[in-house]
Chains A and B, each alone.
With several copies, the nearest count.
Chain A
Amino acid sequence: MIKITNESFDLEKEFKFVSSDINGAYSFFLGTVRSDLSSLNKKIKGIYLECYEELALAQLKKIRSKALYNWKLNECLIIHRIGKLDLGEKIVLVITASSHRTNAIEACEFVIDSLKIDVAFWKFHLLNDDTKEMVSQKNLDNEKMLKWKDIIN
Chain B
Amino acid sequence: MNITLKYFSWIRVKLKKSHDLIELNQKTNLKDLKNKLILKDPIFQEIFEDDSVKYFLNLKEIDDENHTLNNGDILAFLPPVTGG
Direct A–B contact in the complex, CB atoms closer than 8 angstroms: yes
* Minimal Cβ-Cβ distance residue in B for A111: B84
* B78: chain A residues within 8 A (beta carbon): 52, 55, 120
How near does chain A come to B1, taking the closest CB pair, in angstroms? 21
A115 contacts B59, CB within 8 Å? no
* B56: chain A residues within 8 A (beta carbon): 52, 55
Q: Given A52-B76, A55-B59, A55-B76: A118 and B81 within 8 A (CB)?
A: yes
- The answer to whether B34 has its CB under 8 Å from any CB of chain A is no
Q: Given A52-B76, A55-B56, A120-B78: A134 and B9 within 8 A (CB)?
A: yes
Main secondary structure of the interface of A (DSSP, over half): mixed
Cβ 8 A contact of B83, one of A54, A58, A122, A132: A122
B8 contacts A137, CB within 8 Å? no
* A119: chain B residues within 8 A (beta carbon): 81, 83-84
- State how many residues of chain A have any CB contact under 8 Å with chain B: 27
Report the interface size class on chain B: 10 to 19
A58 contacts B59, CB within 8 Å? yes
Cβ 8 A contact of B8, one of A52, A80, A112, A135: A52
Q: In B44-81, which residues have CB < 8 Å from any A CB?
A: 52, 56, 59, 76, 78-81
* B81: chain A residues within 8 A (beta carbon): 116-122, 137
A121 contacts B83, CB within 8 Å? yes
- The answer to whether B39 has its CB under 8 Å from any CB of chain A is no
Most buried by B among A50, A80, A115, A132: A50
Cβ 8 A contact of B80, one of A52, A56, A137: A137
* B13: chain A residues within 8 A (beta carbon): 132, 134
A80 contacts B83, CB within 8 Å? yes
Q: A31-B84, A116-B84, A117-B81 are in contact. List 11 more A-B contacts (CB 8 A).
A: A52-B76, A92-B83, A92-B84, A118-B81, A119-B83, A120-B76, A120-B78, A120-B81, A122-B79, A132-B13, A134-B10
Name A residues whose Cβ lies closer than 8 Å to a Cβ of B.
31, 49-52, 54-56, 58, 80, 91-92, 112, 115-123, 132, 134-137
| 20 examples of A-B residue contacts, CB within 8 angstroms | A31-B84, A50-B8, A52-B8, A52-B76, A55-B59, A55-B76, A80-B84, A92-B84, A112-B84, A115-B83, A115-B84, A116-B83, A116-B84, A119-B81, A119-B83, A119-B84, A122-B79, A136-B82, A137-B52, A137-B80
